[in-house]
Amino acid sequence: MTNELDIFVGNTTLIDEDVYRLWLDGYSVSDAVGLRVRSGILEQTGATAGVLQSDTMDHYRTFHMLERLLHTPPKLLHQLVFQIPPSRQALLIERYYAFDEAFVREVLGKKLSKGTKKDLDDISTKTGVTLKSCRRQFDNFKRVFKVVEEMRGSLAGNIQQHFLLSDRLARDYAAVVFFANNRFETGKKKLQYLTFGDLAFCAELMIQNWTPGAVDSQVDDMDVDLDKEFLQDLKELKVLVADKDLLDLHKSLVCTALRGKLSVFPEMEANFKFIEPCRSDRWPLNDVRLFLNQYSASVHSLDGFRHQALWDRYMVTLRSCLLRMYHD
């Protein structure tokens, strides 16, 4: 005797958080049942494997029906078919849009196109995240990107408004969109050690300071693109490196100020221009901070340098980013 049809419909839609997680993680029904059995649920509840199978199927069916609504979260709030308490709605949305660290590091900065989607197979193998879950996460990125791409106003704010995400998650998505739009290659070997958190931190600062929105809150694409004028202006700063006199003067100013305070002074003198090598030389974080502070401050004492405001816009953000990125 087999059950051809087996359903359970509650006036309040039942959401099992554990099964939801398994579904989001892309497990098949039978894998999910296996995992649930291993969690010891049968012993705890005295249920049979058949009951567990039926329950899992039922939850999966519900999630499948909810998925369409989860693609446009405001619809989930206004629809009439599933009666779900607000706190549960928020949980459903938040979890659906959550993503794996391993996955996001693979995709961050890549174009959210069909081409990338084809690579999901490899990403799945590499990261151990199931292909199904990879697809969901990728589609989430793409969907959010498409909706907010051309929108006015704060990037994170738009995402929060249209996808009803938590503050934290909305800011993470802002970073994803920012990187995807600007195609910052984050997959380079040198950058491998950086976490998504590091990159999101940088993205947030860049959005705050380096986009058109930082200057004018009424322009299109204000938070998505980097401020072109600003990028143009940055060329002016090259003078600090290109002009030998200026460079030497800057160097001596910094060195004088820091002599005796840094434990790695000789190295600093040698590697003045490049911060990255600091890591290989194992500078303590505090030394890096001192150096950067001095490095940015000293410019103000350079008489021949005219772009003080530009320098600050550039350096304040850069300094914070560098400090954040400065770890093992």
Partner 1 sequence: MPGKLKVKIVAGRHLPVMDRASDLTDAFVEVKFGNTTFKTDVYHKSLNPQWNSEWFKFEVDDEDLQDEPLQITVLDHDTYSANDAIGKVYIDIDPLLYSEAATVISGWFPIYDTIHGIRGEINVVVKVDLFNDLNRFRQSSCGVKFFCTTSIPKCYRAVIIHGFVEELVVNEDPEYQWIDRIRTPRASNEARQRLISLMSGELQRKIGLKVLEMRGNAVVGYLQCFDLEGESGLVVRAIGTACTLDKLSSTAAFLPACNSPSKEMKEIPFNEDPNPNTHSSGPSTPLKNQTYSFSPSKSYSRQSSSSDTDLSLTPKTGMGSGSAGKEGGPFKALLRQQTQSALEQREFPFFTLTAFPPGFLVHVGGVVSARSVKLLDRIHNPDEPETRDAWWAEIRQEIKSHAKALGCHAVVGYSESTSICEEVCILSASGTAAVLNPRFLQDGTVEGCLEQRQEENLPPGCGFCHIPYDELNMPFPAHLTYCYSCRKQKVPDVLFTTIDLPTDATVVGKGCLIQARLCRLKKKAQAEANATAISNLLPFMEYEVHTQLMNKLKLKGMNALFGLRIQITVGENMLMGLASATGVYLTALPTPGGIQIAGKTPNDGSYEQHISHMQKKINDTIAKNKELYEINPPEIPEEIIGSPIPEPRQRSRLLRSQSESSDEVIELDLSHGKKDAFVLEIDDTDAMEDVHSLLTDVPPPSGFYSCNTEIMPGINNWTSEIQMFTSVRVSRLSNINLTNQTLNKNFNDLCENLLKSLYFKLRSMIPCCLCHVNFTVSLPEDELIQITVTAVAITFDKHQAVQTTKTHVEKSLQRASADNEELLQFPLELCTDSLASHPFSPAKEHLESASSNSGIPAAQRDRCNSWIELIKLKAQTIRRGSIKTTVSVEKASPLTEGHFRQRSAPACANSTVGVVKMTPLSFIPGAKITKYLGIINMFFIRETTSLREEGGVSGFLHAFIAEVFAMVRAHVAALGGNAVVSYIMKQCVFMENPNKNQAQCLINVSGDAVIFVRESELEIISAQQPIASCQPACSGGEIAT
With 0-12 CB in 10 A as exposed, 13-18 as middle and 19+ as buried, what is 19?
buried
Nearer to partner 1, 92 or 203 (CB): 92
Tell me the two tokens of residue 163: 């996808």
CB 195, min distance to partner 1, A: 26
Q: Which is nearer to partner 1, 19 or 322 (CB)?
A: 19
For the CB of residue 171, give the shortest distance to partner 1 in the complex, in Å: 14
47/316 with CB nearer partner 1: 47
Residue 154 to residues 13, 124, 159, 196, 207, Cα–Cα distance (Å): 34, 32, 9, 21, 9
Instruction: Please say which residue, 62 or 294, places its beta carbon nearer to partner 1.
Output: 62
Supply the minimum distance, in Å, between the C-beta of residue 7 and partner 1: 4
Provide the token pair at 50. 């058949």
Total Cβ atoms within 10 A of residue 137: 24
Q: How far is the CB of 162 from partner 1 (least distance, A)?
A: 11
Contacting residues toward partner 1, per CB under 8 A: 1-14, 45-48, 50-52, 54-55, 57-58, 61-62, 64-65, 75, 77-83, 85-87, 89-90, 160, 164-166
Q: Which is nearer to partner 1, 52 or 254 (CB)?
A: 52
Q: Which of 86, 85, 122, 90 is nearest to 106 (CA)?
A: 122
> From the CB of 289, what's the least distance to partner 1, in Å?
37
Residue 209 CA: distances (Å) to CA of 34, 182, 195, 216, 312: 50, 15, 22, 11, 10
- Whether residue 92 contacts residue 85, with contact meaning beta carbons closer than 8 Å, is answered with no
